Amino acid sequence: MRISEILRRKGSDVATVAPDTTVRTLLAALAERNIGAVVVSPDGNAIAGIVSERDVVRSLHARGADLLDTPVSEIMTSDVRTCAVDDRVDGLRRIMTEHRIRHLPVVHEGRLVGIVSIGDVVKSAISELATEREHLVEYLQGRY
């Protein structure tokens, strides 16, 4: 399965915030959308970074409540790994596991076109296994 298939199923909506957005506003966006990370982007197309709940918690522990009025650019991960729409999900699964990444922005022709979470990857693996199981059961029952 390719990343494009995941995006086709889930949609290509990506939550973004500008680099100067406060952590307080970021938290409101995460809660409102029930998501774990957003892409930091000055224009909705280019990727300046990514910031997750984990980044907020670690920074809050280190810096205290004053963090809430800090721009997300100060706590974001700026070295962002991305994937392409034509990448295979099994390769992405390996990258996410090895690098302990839960969210990967999807880029096509230099533009942000989606985001894939570890949940999306697991869901696709379960779907593939269910399809494979169905085919095996049909084969064993002589339906082929």
State mean pLDDT over 27-34: 96
The encoded tokens of residue 135 equal: 């085919």
pLDDT in tens, 38-62: 999 999 999 999 999 999 999 999 9
Per-residue exposure over 39-69, b if at least 16 CB sit within 10 Å of its own CB, e if not: bbbeeeeebbbbbbeebbeebbeeeeeebee
| pLDDT at residue 144 greater than cutoff 90 | no
Report DSSP state, residue 74.
G
**How many CB atoms are closer than 10 A to CB 134?**
10
Residue 73 predicted with pLDDT over 80: yes
When the pLDDT of each residue in the chain is averaged and rounded to a whole number, the result is 90
Q: Give the amino acid at 72.
A: V
Q: Which of 16-30, 38-52, 90-104 has the lowest mean pLDDT?
A: 90-104
% of the chain exceeding 90 in pLDDT: 68
Q: What global pTM score does this model have?
A: 0.83
pLDDT at 143: 65
